[in-house]
Structure 1
Amino acid sequence: MFKNYLKTALRSFRRHKLFTFINVIGLAIGISAALVIFLIVDYDFTFNKNFKDGERIYRVVTDYAFQGEPFYNSGVCGPLPEAAKNEATGLDVVAPLYNLSYKVTIQAKTPAKFKNQDVVYADKTYFDLFPRQWLAGSAKSSLNAPFQVVLSSKQAQKYFPSLAYDQIIGKQVVYEDTIRTTVTGIVAEPRGNTDLAFHDFISYGTMNSMSDMKKQLISWGGTTSSSQMFVKLGTKTRVSDITKQLNAILLKNRPELNKPGGYKPTFNMQPLSDLHFNAHYGAFDTPVANKTTLYLLIAVASFLLLLGCINFINLTTAQASERAKEIGIRKTMGSNRGQIIAQYLSETFMVTLLAVIISVVLAPFILKLFADFISADITFNLLKHPALIGFMIVLTLVVSFVSGFYPALVLSKFRPVLVLKNQAYTGTNKTRNAWLRKSLTVTQFIIAQFFIMATVLVSKQIHYVLHKDMGFRKDAIVNIFMPYNIKNKGLKDVYTEKIKQLPQVDLVSRGGDIPSTNGWSSNDVTYRDGKKEIRSELYNKAGDENYIKVYHIKLLAGRNVQPVDTARAMLVNENYAHLIGFRNASDAVGKFVEFGKTDKRQIVGVFADFHQASLHAPIKPMAIFPQAYNSDGLHIALKPETAGGYEWKAATSAMEKQWKELFPDDDFQFSFFDESIAKMYTKEQQISKLLTWAMGLSIFISCLGLLGLAMFTTGARTKEIGVRKVLGATVSQIVTLLSTELVLLVLLAFMIVTPLAWYAMNKWIQNFADHTLISWWVFALSGVGMLLTALLTLSFQTIKAAIANPVKSLRSE
């Protein structure tokens, strides 16, 4: 039976080569996209899934709110873990974690040095939550005493390449030239994908033996993302109960937070499953995945598969009349309806299987399209991804069923008596199937036009954010951050002076962060004016007298900071001047703002507002302090580059040369400010690229289907075309006749998709505090573009049919 099905299918494929090609290519594109997207989605959604009782593991995070706007920090104040162990109930495990970056020196006959390595301070409770196989040492004792260190297997081989694991135990590893540790354990690398892939574990008790670190452990007043806390809840413990207890502990140790006004920290619980997806808190050094993008990828794969299936259904049902006699003869010879359905489902299966084989070849190339925003660990390798083979099998069966079931149902209904009288495809059936094809064609062009509209708008918004005046200069500025942990602080001054002497440099500022960044630092401040008291959060940056000059930040009132200013002078932005009640910026000059009970600082100048973060966020109250002497950032304005010149490249090369002379143990890194701004919109640029890719493929698949329908329509109306030409119809009239119905379907799709696209895009663009307009031409351009594409596709077949010799047309039947 199967052999007969195979021979019949191959015979049908040879008879309808072009239609088979269109079906195979349409399905192959959709399936290859599905395979690639499965790899990407499976990679991200399997993060942190290999830990026992993972659903009961949480990271404690700190949230702030000021004037209704939330702020997020992945860390907690240093004393909280110990206090939670002693005072909170319902917790099975409390695991503190403190992560930093250190230079490493290996004490051996031939000492080895390694540049900054990510290091965590932890105790044995960490391995209670996130177990690893112990290759040497013991989880019970390896992190009990100060100055002990546990290494991962790869890190151990990196530090001690010629030694076995048991030989590494007892060796010395020195961090930052002062933290001398002894290796007490070696653990295997974590299984599966995880954000917790740490490799240097220094015993948590070591921090108590270091005065500067001990301060972090006893201060309730500060929060840093370096200080992390993971907990495992008891089986019957509710998250809300733990949250209440932790916040009660905070208020007990910071009673001033009970006062109204200002912004208050609040502890919340982040599930382990959320760690890899929450950009507010981050996931250590692992790039955070975006669930919206992943769901968009799934939608793209589903739509592309749907387009391929629609092509198959349309073309198969359109050809139904051509295969009617075959069905009639089969039924006359004794075939039942089930056998005919099986025949056509087997044909669909063969087409799908061929498409899957082609998609396996295409998938690695499509994977490269995503190379900019996926992990290098994602590769198309069937041997390494057994789940991919299972997915391919399921996908083949599902696509075969979805594409083939309805056509098989339609074809198997034909009655032998009517078939052999050439009446099988008339009346109600013909009308019903025509409406189905029209509906499916409209669906195709709804999907294609939605992708066009979304792509145009996202591109428009990206152009807007990259070219909008954000209140500062962006071009020709280089940012360098000097090492913060060097002993000889004077080297920073030396390096700064050397940079100033470079001939390509126009102006240099010593300061902290760049004007616009997703990171932030702030203070809770109070302004008092008689009876009026205004508590607020004030963002802060450090910069010398050249800071606002380098970035062309406009000074509205007062004066700039000066080298002779003490730490009590500051500049504030216009936003803060308005917040404390001054309509005119000049009226705020000379006023004092309280930073705590004893620290008062004077406003000496007011500068124009600029965006301190991406356009997702509104402008906030901000100050610039003249504490540049304690800052590591260099903000370097370059002179204009001549056409075709290499002055900027020469400048950065000279900066690197000076760096290596003064900071040989640290990597030289620099960035252009305009590129840093562009990186703030990486997610939007990725979505734009994804939509462009999806738009191109959806248009291609839709046009393939449109071409196939046009070929079938013109073929079925060959005699009609010949008669019309004999009666005097012109080429343009015949082209119009053949094209009108399909063009109307494209226009109907445009009318349906426009309000849907507007709603979706309006929701997306609200993520930006400052955004472009959703212009009418976005929809008009999409509609006209799709219409022209459809007309161009149809013209190949309709013009060919219209100019054909009518004598040949009338002989064709």
Structure 2
Amino acid sequence: MIRNYIKTAYRSLKKSKGFTAINVLGLSVGLATCLLIVLYVADELSYDKYNKNAANIYRITENAKLNGNEASYAGSEKPILNAIKDYPEIEKTTRIIPKSNLFKTSQKFNIKKGNTNIQEKNVAFAESSLFDVFTLPMIDGSPATALSAPHSAVITESMAKKYFNNVKAVGKTLTINDTSYYKVTGVIKDIPSQSHFNYDFILSYNSIPEYQAGGWGYSGIHNYVVLKPGADIHKLEANMRSIAVKNYPPSMVQGGNYLNYELTPLLDIHLHSHSQDELSDSGNIRYVYIFSLIAVFILLIACVNFMNLSTARSSGRAKEVGVRKVLGSARKYLIAQFLTESMLLTLIAFVIAIVLAFMAIPLFNEVAAKHLSLGFNTFAWLLPALVIALLIGLLAGFYPAFFLSSFKPIEVLKGKLVAGFKGGYLRSFLVVFQFSISIFLIIGTIVIYNQLNYIHNKSLGFDRSQVMVIKNVNVLGNQAATFKQEIKQMPGVVDATMSSYLPTGEERNITGMFPQLPLDIKQDVLSEFWPVDEDYLNTMGIKLIAGRNFSRAMATDSSGLIVNEAFVKRFGFKDPLNKPIYRNSIGLQTFHIIGVMKDFNFSSLRDEIKPVALIYNESRGAVSARVKVADIGSFIATMKDKWKGFSPNQEFAYSFMDQDFDATYRSEERIGELFIAFSTLAIFIACLGLFGLAAYAAEQRNKEIGIRKVLGASISGIVALLSTEFIKLVFIAILIASPLAWYAMNKWLQDFAYRINIQWWVIALAGVVAVLIAFVTISFQSVKAALANPVDSLKSGE
């Protein structure tokens, strides 16, 4: 019986080649797209799950509010972990301190390989208990003692091969910054990319001088705890808050100010936590939801196509059903036959979808910045995917099977069955549903594109074009200033500055500043505090709106500050020049404001511009040069030669500021590109269905078209006749989708402090695009029908 079903289904699909091609193409593209989205979503949801105790691991996150400044920090203080580690709820604890939290300014991490120093960024200090908390398999060495001794290091397999050409590297020595020596005591497997931290070098925590590890008020340590099953998390959080209250001045935890601790589940860090000082770039659960919905929408559109086309061609199969019923075929067998056709078609589409996904995944990985794979060693997904595909076939074929098998044989054979597109209310609803989704995605695509375009073209308060940033200048030591001066004299260099702190850089330094004495915590304002030289403003293209720039000739400028407009506004100064500013850092420091600069964006446009204070002091992290040359390649080569003259054993590392800026928003760009790609595919699949429906509508009105042509109807009139019904449905879809899309995209834009407003023309443009897409799709078949010889249609059978 099943064999006959399959054979009959194959013959039916082969007979209707157009129907089969449209459905197979739509389903295969839809399934391939969904497979890629599912891989993306699964990857995002898999972060940190490689840890055996993942469900019980928590990070201590610090939430603070001080004088209206609210912030959440991924790090917390050293004493808080000491205070709670013996609580009965806690099983294990460990600490990680990223290298960047210890060496805030010019100190870099350079490892000697032969005669060359190579800068490494993925470096952290950790306690020996790290391997008790996180699952980091060790290839060489003992995890119990690997980080026990000072100046010991655990490195990854890749780094062992890079520096020692062998994973058996225990006992080898790492030379760091030409002054420190660390003994390799362990080699671990490369940390999975689905981890909220990914370090290549893990150094012993007790190698850090005690004062650098911090006390109350220093939140640069990432503290982790493993809780016992059934532990009362809320009770533990309350205890931690009470500890903070006891150890901080009352003014910091009263009067609207607070310092709260919370336990962030390890599995929530990547997608749900957006605290400052995260150990890696976080994802966003909102995008996981969005792409999951798009995957569902694409599958629904593909299923809707199948249902629409199957019911639309009902007239072509009505006599088949009638004859089968007259010959004694039961309805259940007809249903089984039509479902078999649906499943066979879906199976064919599934095979093609796998091939399409294999072909598309390299490009998808490039756009999404992922390392997803459909390799044969990961075919665990194949069976579930096949089951889902067959369920889709069952779902898509369910209504057509019951619809077609319900025809009454007498009415069919007498020709009383109403054929054609008319009366297809469900079909009309499904077309509206398809295009509502498509219009929603079109509006979303336009808004995302406009926001990204706004980001790239917004005046940021500084000029990022043609600024070359030479990194690792700290290795030059006392020659750094000479190097900068020689760069300034190079042909094509407009100006140059030396500072670690750049608008597009990674280095940041937040400090508390006060307007008067005695220091009152209620007047504390958190501000960026950047050491720069006298060439900084000119090189960065930052404008002064009051006062003056730093000057070598002014000895008092060592205590001078140039502040931004946000700083002035935060302190409430009407006339900020010469106002005293105080800072309590290793003793009381007194400054005075000598200039006010225009606000500039130095972080994501999601954030409001924060107060910034520039201090006239040396910072050797990087030299930035504003250049104006015709041949940038030749200039880079000259700059490299200049660098080698100063530091022949140090690699030449550079970037351009506009590229660094783009990298800040690369995540949004990737999301935008994926959204546009998926939206395009969804619209393409919807158009395939509309194309098929238009073809059947034209076929079913074949005689009507012939008669109208004989009676003098024009081609344009016939095209309008055949298109009007579909275009009406698209207009209904516009009315449904527009308010929903406007609301959803406004919610998305709320993430940005600086954003576009959704203009009326966006909705209008999306509607026009949808109508044009529908009209072009329909017109192909309509024009074909209108141009056909009416004699042929009138001479045909019924």
TM-score by length of 1: 0.90
Question: What is the alpha-carbon root mean square deviation over aligned residues?
Answer: 2.9
Q: In the TM superposition, what is the alpha-carbon distance from 1:216 to its structure 2 partner?
A: 1.3
Greater mean alpha carbon deviation, residues 739-748 or residues 781-790: 781-790
- Counterpart-to-counterpart distance in 1, 2:403 and 2:635: 73
Q: 1:367 to 1:296 in 2, by over 3 A?
A: farther
1:681 aligns with 2:665: yes
Return the letter of the residue paired with 1:97. Answer: I
The 3-state SS of whatever aligns with 2:382 is: helix
- 2:264 equivalent to 1:270: yes
2:23–2:306 CA contact under 8 A, matched in 1: yes
In the alignment, is residue 549 of structure 1 matched against residue 545 of structure 2?
A: no
> Match of 1:524, as an amino acid?
G
Match of 1:700 in 2: 684
Deviations 1:103-161 (A, max 9, x none): 3458xxx8997652634333332111124445454333343333334444454444444
Q: Is 1:514–2:514 an aligned residue pair?
A: no
Question: After the TM superposition, which of the residue ranges 506-515 and 416-425 deviates more from structure 2?
Answer: 416-425
| Paired letter, 1:699 | I
Task: Please tell me whether the aligned partners of residues 275 and 283 of structure 1 are also in contact (alpha carbons under 8 angstroms).
Answer: no
Show the counterpart of 1:120.
124
The equivalent residue for 2:378 is 385
Read off the aligned partner of 1:360 and give its amino acid letter.
I
Tell me how far apart the structure 2 counterparts of residues 177 and 672 of structure 1 sit (CA, whole Å). Answer: 28
Q: Do 1:58 and 1:271's aligned partners in 2 also have CA atoms closer than 8 Å?
A: yes
Partner of 1:462: 452
Superposition deviation, residue 684 in structure 1 = 2.4
1:401 equivalent in structure 2: 394
Counterpart in the other structure of 1:12: 12
The answer to whether the 8 Å contact 2:462/2:540 transfers is yes
Q: Assess if the C-alpha contact under 8 Å between 2:467 and 2:627 holds in 1.
A: yes
Q: Distance in 2 between matches of 1:366 and 1:552?
A: 43
Alpha-carbon shift at residue 308 of structure 1 (Å): 1.3
CA contact (8 A) 2:146 2:186 kept: yes
Identify unmatched segments of 5+ residues in structure 2: 100-107
Is the 2:367–2:674 Cα contact (8 Å) retained in structure 1? Answer: no
* CA distance in structure 1 between the partners assigned to 2:334 and 2:507 by the alignment: 65
Asked whether the 8 Å contact 2:561–2:595 carries over to 1, the reply is yes
Match of residue 60 from structure 2:
60
Contact 1:251 1:257 in 2 (8 A): no
- Whether the 8 Å CA contact 1:516–1:614 is kept in 2: the answer is no
Alignment of 1:400-479 (within 5 A): 400-425=393-418, 434-479=424-469
Q: Report the equivalent of 2:756.
A: 772
Matched residue type, 1:496 = K
SS of corresponding position for 2:482: helix
Classify 1:132/1:764 alpha carbon distance in 2 versus 1 (closer, same or farther; 3 Å): closer
Deviation at 1:578, TM superposition (A): 2.8
Structure 1 residue 28: Cα displacement: 0.8
Alignment of 1:482-631 (within 5 A): 482-484=472-474, 486=475, 489-516=477-504, 520-528=508-516, 534-563=523-552, 564-583=555-574, 587-596=575-584, 598-627=588-617, 629-631=618-620
- Give 1:221's aligned amino acid: G
Bigger CA drift: 542-551 or 280-289? 280-289
Check 1:691–1:142 CA distance in 2 against 1; reply closer, same or farther (3 A cut): closer
Match of 1:661 in 2: 645
2:229 is the counterpart of 1:222:
no
Return the alpha-carbon distance in structure 2 between the equivalents of residues 365 and 43 of structure 1.
19
Q: Contact 1:470 / 1:610 at 8 angstroms: preserved in 2? A: yes
Is it true that 1:729 corresponds to 2:730 in the alignment? no
Question: Secondary structure of the equivalent of 2:60?
Answer: strand
Flag the 1:69–1:418 CA change in 2: closer, same or farther, 3 A: farther
CA change 1:201–1:630 in 2 (3 A) is closer
Q: CA deviation at 1:67?
A: 5.6
Distance in 1, matches of 2:342 and 2:764, equals 38
SS in 2 for 1:458: helix
| Cα distance change of structure 1 residues 47 and 620 upon mapping to structure 2, 3 Å threshold | closer
Given that 2:53 and 2:134 are in contact with CA atoms closer than 8 Å, whether structure 1 keeps it comes out as no
Cα shift at 1:461: 1.5
Unmatched runs of 5 consecutive residues or more in structure 1: 208-212
Deviation at 1:439, TM superposition (A): 0.5
Distance 2:768 2:214 in 1: 66
CA contact (8 A) 1:481 1:633 kept: yes
Distance 1:618-1:129 versus aligned 2 partners, 3 A rule: same
CA distance in 2: counterparts of 1:12 and 1:690, whole angstroms: 37
Give the distance between the partners of 1:549 and 1:197, measured in 2 at CA.
Answer: 37
Fraction of identical pairs, as percent: 33
SS in 2 for 1:275: helix
Instruction: Give the distance between the partners of 2:480 and 2:183, measured in 1 at CA.
Output: 33
Distance 1:387 1:562 in 2: 67
Q: Could you say if the C-alpha distance between residues 94 and 652 of structure 1 is closer, same or farther in structure 2, counting changes exceeding 3 Å?
A: same
Is 1:341 the counterpart of 2:335? The answer is: yes
CA distance in 2, matches of 1:322, 1:443: 25
Distance 1:636 1:265, change over 3 A: farther
In 1, Cα distance between the equivalents of 2:361 and 2:18?
28
**In structure 2, what is the equivalent of residue 205 of structure 1?**
206
> Which residue in the other structure is 2:103 paired with?
none
What residue in structure 1 maps to residue 110 of structure 2? 103
Query: How far does the alpha carbon of each residue in 1:391-433 deviate from its partner, in whole angstroms, 9 at most, with x for none?
Result: 321221121112111101111212233333233447xx9876x
Tell me, in whole angstroms, the C-alpha distance in 2 between the residues paired with 1:799 and 1:592.
79
Q: How many equivalent pairs are there?
A: 784
Alignment of 1:306-325 (within 5 A): 306-325=300-319
Partner in structure 2 of residue 795 of structure 1: 779
Residue 254 of structure 1 deviates from its aligned partner by: 3.9
Note the alpha carbon deviations across 1:316-374, whole angstroms, 9 max, x for none.
Answer: 00111221221222223332222211111111111111111111221133324433343
What SS class does the counterpart of residue 523 from structure 2 fall into? strand
CA 1:667 to 1:306, structure 2 compared with 1: closer, same or farther past 3 Å? Answer: farther
**8 A contact 1:59–1:229 mirrored in 2:** yes
* 2:45 alignment partner in structure 1: 45
Does the C-alpha gap of structure 1 residues 784 and 502 become closer, same or farther in structure 2, counting only changes over 3 Å? Answer: same
For the residue of structure 2 that corresponds to 1:578, the secondary structure is helix
Match of 1:210 in 2: none
Q: Secondary structure at the match of 2:624?
A: strand
Distance change >3 Å, CA 764–CA 400, structure 1 → 2: same
Deviations 1:679-708 (A, max 9, x none): 322232223212221232222222221121
Q: Which has the higher contact order (CA 8 A, sep 6+)?
A: 2
Deviations 1:435-481 (A, max 9, x none): 01101111111111111111111111222221122222222222233
Once residues 303 and 43 of structure 1 are traced to their aligned partners in structure 2, the CA distance between those partners, rounded to angstroms, is 20
**Residue pair 2:530, 2:613 contacting (<8 A) in 1 also:** yes
Decide whether the 8 Å contact of 1:78 with 1:216 is kept in 2: no
Distance change (3 Å), C-alpha of 1:278 and 1:520? farther
SS in 1 for 2:461: coil
